[in-house]
Structure 1
Amino acid sequence: MKFLAITLIVHNDDRSPTARFREVVENAVLAEELGFDGFGVGERHERPFISSSPPVVLSHIAARTSRIRLFTAVTTLSLLDPVRAYEDYATLDHLSEGRLELIIGKGNGAAQARLFHVTPEDQWERNQEAYELFRRLWREDKVTWEGRFRPSLTDAETWPRPLQRPIRVWHGSATSKESVDLAARYGDPLFSANVTNPVEPYAELIDHYRERWAHYGHDPAEALVGAGTAGYYAARTSQEAVETYRPIFEARLEFQRRPGLPIVFPTLEDAIERSSILVGSPQQIIDKVLRYHKRLGHEVMHLHADADGLTPRQHRDALELFQAEIAPVLRAEIPSRPFPGGAA
C-alpha cells in the first residue's frame, strides 16, 4: 500500500494566510522526510479554504522536496478552462521533474459554483467535456476540438509540452456514478473520498467502477483504487489516542453544526466504529485499514496532512508512529503498483 498526506488548506483560525501556507509547505517537507509516498493539495474557491491555486502551492513544494509525488485533490475541472489548466500543470510537471499526478473532479460547494457561473445542472457535463479536452491536450501536439463550454480550437498548440506523456489522472469520487463511469471508460484510476459516510456507499461506487471497467473492455486486474480517511491519530494505547483526539473531534462537530451540516457520526466512538477515521493504537489502525481494504480493494490511502488541532509535537509523533509501526505492516500486507516513471 502507498500513503498520501493531503490538505484542503482549511483556514479558520487567527493566523495569517502567509503562516497557513508556510505550515502547508513544511508539512509537505515533513511528509517526505518521514517516508510518505505523496503529498496532495485540494482545490476549493470558498470559505474556509485558501486552496484556490494548487499549482502555485505545489510548485513551491516541488522546490522544497526531491522525491515525494505531488497530487491535486481534486482539480475541479468543471470550473476551469482546460487549456489553462493544462498549461499550469504541464509547467508544474517540468518543475517537479515528473513527480505530478492529478486527481480531478467536478467539485462541490455552492459559493464556488456561483463564482464561476456553474450550475448543478451543467457541472457534470462541464467536468466531462473539460476532461476529454484536457487529456487530448496532454497527448496531442495539435488539437482541433469543439464543445459547449469554451471556444473551439483549430490546430491549437499548447506550451510547454509535458514531461510525462501522458500524466496519470485519477478521478475523485464521493457520490457520483458519472465520475466513476468516466474513470472506467478511459482506463483511469479512481480515488474514493471515503470520508463523510460509512463505508458502504463508497464501496458500492467502487463496485460500479469495477463493473464499468470490465464493460469497457479493460483487464480487471489493472483497475486501480485509492481511498481517503476521515482523520488520524495513533498513540501507544487506544485510551491515550481517544483521550487526545476527543476535543479535536468535538471541535469538528461544532464546526459542522454552525452552518447546519448533517452530523453523520455524533460521537467519537461511533466514528471509530463506523467511519474511516483512524484513531487508536497501531494494531487497531492496521486491523481497521485491512478491514476496509477487504471491502474497497484500494492500494493507495490518504491521511490528513494538517495537525487539525493537535500540537506540532503530537502531530509529528503520530506521523512518525504511522511510518514506524503501521505503514510497514500495511505495505507488506497490501501490494501496490509502482508510480509512473518507475518510482517505487
Structure 2
Amino acid sequence: MSDVVFGLDTFGDVAMGEGGVPISGARAIRQVVDEAVLAEEVGVDVFALGEHHRPEYAITTPETVLAGIATRTSRIRLSSGVTVLSSDDPVRVYQRFATVDALSQGRAEVILGRGSFTESFPLFGYDLAGYAILFEEKLALFAELLKEKPVTWSGSTRAPLVDADVFPKTEAGRLRTWIGVGGTPESVVRTARYGLPLMIAIIGGAPGRFTFHIDLYRRAAEKFGTTAHPVGVHSPGFIADTDEEARNVHWPHYKVIRDRVGAQRGWPPISRQEYEYEVERGSLYVGSPETVARKMAAAIKSLGAGRFDLIYTTGAQPLGARLRAVELYGTKVLPLVREILAD
C-alpha cells in the first residue's frame, strides 16, 4: 500500500483570536492559504477545501481560495472537500476548476456532492424538494463536460445546451473528478455508474462498517463495466504533540460546533464520554502523531483505501495549534503511516 495518497481538508473554520474574539472571515481565508503552503512544505499530497455557507466557516467558494493557493505552491494537489453541485451550475463549476487547473499546471481536482449542509439551496434559489433530481441531472451534465467536447443536453434543472463548447480546456484533457458520499448505497452505485472515484465521508462510528460501501462500489462498477478506482476516506481529527494536549485543544471547540449543528438537526448534545469513544474506537483521529498514525493505518488497511484526507480543524482551534497540526501531519504522522503500511 505504498501508493496511498494523503490529504488535509479544512472548511476554513473561523479561529479564536487574541482575547477570545473570533478572527475575521478574511483573515481566516488568508490563514488557510498559509496552512496550504505549509502542507506542501511538509510533504502532504493533497490540500482540500470544503464549501459551506455558515458563520463558522469562511470558505464559500473553494476554487477561488484554491486559485490563490495555486500561485504560492508548485507540487501539492488542490481539491475541493466537496463542491455542492446541486446548488451550482455544472458549466460554471467546470470552468472555475479548469481555471484552477490552468493556474496550478494540472494540480486541480473537484469532489462533487449533494451537500450534507443545505444552506446553499435557499441562498441560491433552489427548492430542497428537488434535492435528488438536482444532483442527478447536474451530475449527468458534468459527466458530459468532462469529455471536453461540444455538449448537447436538456433537463429540468437548468437551460438546455445545444452543441455548446465550454472553456477553458484542461491541458491533460480531463479534470480530475471524484464523487463525495455520506454513505447511502444509492450514491455509491451512482458513482460506480459514472465510473468516477468514490470519496466516503466517515465522520462517526467504526471505519470498518464502510467496507460494505466499498465492496458495493466495486461490484457495481463490475456490473456497469466501468472502472473501480481506489477509494478515498475523509474523516475529522486533530494532532498535537501529546494525546492529552490534542484532546484538550480539540474537545471544547469540537463540542461547540457539533452541538450547534446537532441542535439544528434534532441531535442531543454530545457528551465527553461519546467523544472519547469516537476518539478511541470511532472516526475521530485525535491525538499525538503516533496515535493518529496508527489509527489511520488501521483504517486504511481495513478499508483498502487508496486515499485518506484528514479534516484537521473542527471549530475555533487557535491559529498556532492549527499550524502545528499541519506540521505534525506531514513530518511525523505520514512517515509513520507509510512505514506501518509497508510492513
Do both share a fold (TM > 0.5)?
yes
The yes-or-no answer on 1:290 pairing with 2:300 is no
In 2, the alpha carbon distance for the partners of 1:261 and 1:9 equals 25
Give the structure 2 partner of residue 319 of structure 1. Answer: 326
Alignment of 1:22-33 (within 5 A): 22-33=30-41
SS state at 2:115 partner: coil
CA distance in 2, matches of 1:67, 1:310: 27
- AA aligned to 2:321 is Q
Is residue 2:220 matched to residue 1:212? yes
| C-alpha distance 240-117 of structure 1, shift in aligned 2 (>3 A) | closer
193-202 vs 224-233, which moves further? 193-202
Task: Give the CA deviation at 1:135.
Answer: 2.4
Amino acid at match of 1:91: T
CA distance in 2, matches of 1:307, 1:129: 32
Instruction: Say which of 226, 229, 246 aligns to 1:223.
Output: 229
Aligned to 1:94: 102
TM superposition shift of 1:179: 2.2
CA contact (8 A) 1:41 1:71 kept: yes
What CA distance in whole angstroms lies between the structure 2 residues aligned with 1:245 and 1:17? Answer: 21
1:136 aligns with 2:147: no
- CA deviation vs aligned residue, 1:175-222 (integer Å, no higher than 9, x gap): 332321121112211111111444355443223212212222346xx5
Alignment partner of 1:98: what SS? coil
Q: Distance in 1 between matches of 2:276 and 2:313?
A: 22
> Residue by residue, what CA displacement relative to the aligned partner does 1:302-321 show, whole Å, maximum 9, x if unpaired?
12344854444433333333
| Aligned alpha-carbon RMSD (Å) | 2.6
**CA deviation profile, 1:103-152 (whole Å, cap 9, x unmatched):** 10011333322223334442222212212212222314311122221111
State the secondary structure of the residue aligned to 2:236: coil
Q: Mean alpha-carbon deviation: is it higher for 150-159 or for 67-76?
A: 150-159
Q: How does 1:150-169 map to 2 (within 5 A)?
A: 150-169=158-177
Map residues 216-255 of structure 1 onto 2, 5 A cutoff: 216-218=224-226, 222-235=228-241, 237-255=242-260
11-20 vs 237-246, which deviates more? 237-246
- CA distance 1:193–1:322, shift in 2 (3 Å): same
What is the identity, as a one-letter code, of the residue corresponding to 1:7?
T
**SS of residue matched to 1:110:** coil
Q: Which stretch has the larger CA shift, 110-119 or 156-165?
A: 110-119
Task: Look up the equivalent residue of 1:93 and give its one-letter code.
Answer: D
Alignment partners' CA distance in 2, 1:229 and 1:54: 18
* Shift in CA distance, 12/28, structure 1 to aligned 2, threshold 3 Å: closer
Q: Distance in 1 between matches of 2:41 and 2:199?
A: 25
Q: List alignment gaps of at least 5 residues for structure 2.
A: 17-21
Q: Does 1:104 align with 2:107?
A: no
- The one-letter amino acid paired with 2:217 is Y
Cα distance between partner residues in 1 of 2:220 and 2:262 = 37
- The 5-angstrom pairing of residues 170-209 of structure 1 reads 170-199=178-207, 202-209=210-217
Q: 2:14 aligns with which of 11, 14, 21?
A: 11
Secondary structure at the counterpart of residue 239 of structure 2? strand
Match of 1:339 in 2: none
- State the match for 2:19 in structure 1: none
Q: Is the 8 A contact 1:192 1:226 kept in 2?
A: yes
Partner of 2:44: 36
Counterparts in 2 of 1:170 and 1:153: CA distance versus 1, 3 Å: same
Say if 1:320 and 1:10 are closer, same or farther in 2 by CA, change over 3 A.
closer
- Note if contact 2:98-2:108 (Cα within 8 Å) is conserved in structure 1: no
Larger RCO (CA under 8 A, 6+ residues apart): 2
Provide the rounded CA distance (Å) in 2 between the counterparts of 1:12 and 1:232: 14
Measured after TM superposition, the shift of residue 323 of structure 1 is 2.4
Q: Which residue of 2 aligns with 1:262?
A: 267
Take 1:144 and 1:256, find their aligned partners in 2: how far apart are those partners? 40
CA pair 49-244 structure 1, distance change in 2 beyond 3 A: closer
